Amino acid sequence: MSEKSGKKVVIAVDGPAAAGKTTTCLALADTFGLRYLESGRTYRIVAYEALRRGVAVEDGRAVVGLCDDLIDESRSTNLLASTRYEPQELRSISVNRTVSAVARIGELRGRVTELIHLWANAQARCVVEGRDIGTVVFPSARAKFYLTARPETRARRRVQQEGRGSYEEVLKDVIRRDEADMSRSVSPLKPAPDAVEIDTTSLSVNQVVDRMVDVCRTRGVAIS
């Protein structure tokens, strides 16, 4: 999708676990009527189905085969938009533990990137969040953000948001997934060189959204 060729808008938002990406992106999408995509959900769907169907996540070929089956099974919708899964299924402790192994498989990432491009091509203006959106999926997006916050703040927010799990367990999971996401060889989590980094530790959702809107305006991205 090319932003240059028309009025297409893609806002890319990356960052570590529980940095506030979803809340902020939803607020931005709501305010400006943008379509929103949470790319991590697809990696979670694949991890969830691998666990359910007994596919070994260390076996890259088998996981890619599973992803192809899932794409076939949800042919009419696009796997990204599948409504078959409950949030609590995709955010279970076992999926949290498994998803990093799935997300390091390069060929699987290629499949997910294709699905995101397909989805985004059908949208006029959208905001997409993940780990590699500004670096790999939409490297030429003009508005890119990298949201961060202290791990302790992120864990506290996640416990509050999900209302389950102990703070210590959640903090451990957040740190473990950050390390896995940042150190993998394929599409590691890192800010794109032209991403604007926002530390949300002591900012409200509205303050973060305001900063993003300012950056969009400065970069000539027509969100409103």
Region of 55-63, 127-135, 142-150, 205-213 interacting with ligand CDP (CB under 6 A): 127-135
Residue 125 near residue 34 (C-beta atoms within 8 A): yes
134 binds ligand CDP (CB under 6 A): no
The candidate with the shortest Cα–Cα distance to 92, out of 142, 148, 138, 50, is 50
Alpha helices in 74-166 (DSSP H): 87-90, 93-103, 106-121, 151-162
Region of 80-88, 117-125, 128-136, 141-149 interacting with ligand CDP (CB under 6 A): 128-136
Residue 114 or residue 214: which is nearer to ligand CDP going by CB?
114
∠ CA 51-53-54, rounded to 5°:
65
130 binds ligand CDP (CB under 6 A): yes
44 binds ligand CDP (CB under 6 A): yes
- The CB-of-91 to ligand CDP minimum distance in angstroms stands at 8
> Residues binding ligand CDP: what is the number (CB under 6 A)?
15
Measure the CA–CA gap between 45 and 48, rounded to whole angstroms. 5
Determine which helix (DSSP H) or strand (DSSP E) holds 171, and give its type and residue range.
helix 167-183
- The CB-of-186 to ligand CDP minimum distance in angstroms stands at 9
The correct pick among 1, 12, 17, 37 for binding ligand CDP (CB under 6 A) is 17
Measure the CA–CA gap between 183 and 185, rounded to whole angstroms. 6
Q: Which residues bind ligand CDP (CB under 6 A)?
A: 17-18, 39-40, 43-44, 99-100, 103, 130-133, 177, 181
